[in-house]
Amino acid sequence: MKSFEKNLFKADPYIAGEQPAIDSIKLNANENPYPPSPAVQEVFKNFNSEILKKYPPIDGLELREAIAENFELKAENVFLGNGSDDVLGSSFRAFFNGDKPILFADITYSFYPVWCNLLNIPYENPKVDENFELNADDYKKPNGGIVIANPNAPTSICKPLEFIEYIIKANPESVVIVDEAYIDFGGVSAVSLIPKYENLLVVQTSSKSRSLAGMRVGYALGSKILIDTLFGVKDCYNSYPMDSVALKVMLASVKDKEYFNNTVAKICKTRDNTKEQLRKLGFKVMDSKTNFLFATHPDYSAKEIFEYLKTKKIYVRYFSKPRIDNYLRITVGTDNEMQAMLDALKLFFAK
């Protein structure tokens, strides 16, 4: 090792799904198979690059007002970031500064332990049960903060609002983050609880339900004190995380409610049909309130199925991790993409 190397950071990063070749069926990153709202295309058509010579508006006020209106909140209750990963990373920095461990489930979004390790935040992982269900009483012990992904990833299970409120109510001394990356696909958001609980932060994204994964727009909703604290952290790193293009694109998407509702409904319908078809092929499939399905087969290993689908240029997600290493996470694509996957599975089982 060269002498300067001892001071270099040794990262233990999050590993995202593969980016396969363009002619494959990509069902491994929970992206939306449909394009963003046509209003987004209009933004690009009419875009004048002249505006790029100036910095973007520092507070993203117009977009924050539009998002706030959707939830009957005020702009002061909305924070914007470069995708919800950016918002969550800033939130861990902003809210988890105590000595006690923060709590999140043993099976959940695998970026949470990465931020804890990066920021030296102690953490504990209450175990979900054998059906991957969270137990609310596991979150009633002393802690430095709580993070619940609802619906959870990669299990796709969504807990009702009363369950989330029970945990928030039991933890007035901690900030409770509810990561709602997939809430638009059938769950009930905890946003309605924000006026009641100043310690609640709800994080959402445009990456899934709005088909804007490539644009990187996420946001947090919460009390003024939490949002002000987040802006404080942001201004210690990067005063302008939201570029001028992203602000305009997201504003156009937020205003087109009809396209949003239609697209989400289409995905939910394809999801529920695919779930039934997978069950007919012998899979055990969790009831999903997300844009993906979490499935296991009693007779074939998940890894084997994953490798086989890859040979057919169909990419799903496989996690080589304790408790879930015999499951596949399958993003809901178009009806045609799902049919191609089901046909490939039938061929595999017929062998």
Bridge partners of residue 220, in order along the sequence = 79, 203
- Judged by CB under 6 A, does residue 292 bind ligand PMP? no
Nearer to ligand PMP by Cβ, of 205 and 297: the residue is 205
- Binding to ligand PMP (CB under 6 A): which residues in 125-164? 149, 153
CB of 83 to ligand PMP, least distance (A): 3
Joined together, the tokens standing for residue 218 give: 């996420």
3-state helix, strand, coil in the chain (%, to 5): 40, 15, 45
| Stretch of 81-89, 186-194, 243-251, 315-323 contacting ligand PMP, by CB under 6 A | 81-89
Binding track, positions 94-123, relative to ligand PMP; x by CB under 6 A = ---------------x--------------
> Measured between alpha carbons, how far is residue 219 from residues 86, 97, 252, 254 in Å?
9, 21, 16, 12
Q: Are 123 and 96 spatial neighbours (Cβ–Cβ below 8 Å)?
A: no
> Measured between alpha carbons, how far is residue 197 from residues 167, 174, 318, 337 in Å?
11, 11, 37, 42
Nearer to ligand PMP by Cβ, of 112 and 259: the residue is 112
- Judged by CB under 6 A, does residue 84 bind ligand PMP? yes
Nearer to ligand PMP by Cβ, of 112 and 283: the residue is 112
Binding track, positions 195-214, relative to ligand PMP; x by CB under 6 A = ----------x-x-----x-
Nearer to ligand PMP by Cβ, of 153 and 309: the residue is 153
Nearer to ligand PMP by Cβ, of 84 and 91: the residue is 84
| Stretch of 82-90, 116-124, 130-138, 341-349 contacting ligand PMP, by CB under 6 A | 82-90
CB of 148 to ligand PMP, least distance (A): 10
Q: Which residue has the tokens 């240029």?
A: 313
The correct pick among 33, 60, 83, 187 for binding ligand PMP (CB under 6 A) is: 83
Joined together, the tokens standing for residue 169 give: 């109510």
Q: What letter does residue 136 receive in the DSSP assignment?
A: G
Binding track, positions 306-335, relative to ligand PMP; x by CB under 6 A = ------------------------------
CB of 203 to ligand PMP, least distance (A): 7
Q: Note the Cα 325 to chain centre separation in Å.
A: 21
Q: Starting from the edge strand earliest in sequence, which strands make up the sheet with 123-124, in order?
A: 78-81, 218-222, 200-205, 176-179, 146-149, 102-103, 123-124
Burial (CB < 10 A; 0-12, 13-18, 19+), residue 29, is middle
| Stretch of 83-91, 139-147, 265-273, 331-339 contacting ligand PMP, by CB under 6 A | 83-91
H helices, E strands: number in the chain? 10, 13
- Judged by CB under 6 A, does residue 73 bind ligand PMP? no
Nearer to ligand PMP by Cβ, of 111 and 283: the residue is 111
Going by C-alpha positions, the residue among 93, 57, 91, 88 that lies closest to residue 75 is 57
How many beta carbons lie within 10 A of that of residue 68, not counting itself?
Answer: 17
Nearer to ligand PMP by Cβ, of 150 and 340: the residue is 150
Q: Note the Cα 229 to chain centre separation in Å.
A: 22
Burial (CB < 10 A; 0-12, 13-18, 19+), residue 300, is middle
Provide the greatest CA pair distance for the chain: 61
Our CA angle for 206, 207, 213, nearest 5°, is: 125
The correct pick among 31, 165, 179, 337 for binding ligand PMP (CB under 6 A) is: 179
Per the document, the length of the chain is: 351
| Stretch of 37-45, 67-75, 79-87, 250-258 contacting ligand PMP, by CB under 6 A | 79-87
Q: Which stretches of the chain bind ligand PMP, using CB under 6 A?
A: 83-85, 109, 149, 153, 179, 181, 205, 207, 213, 218
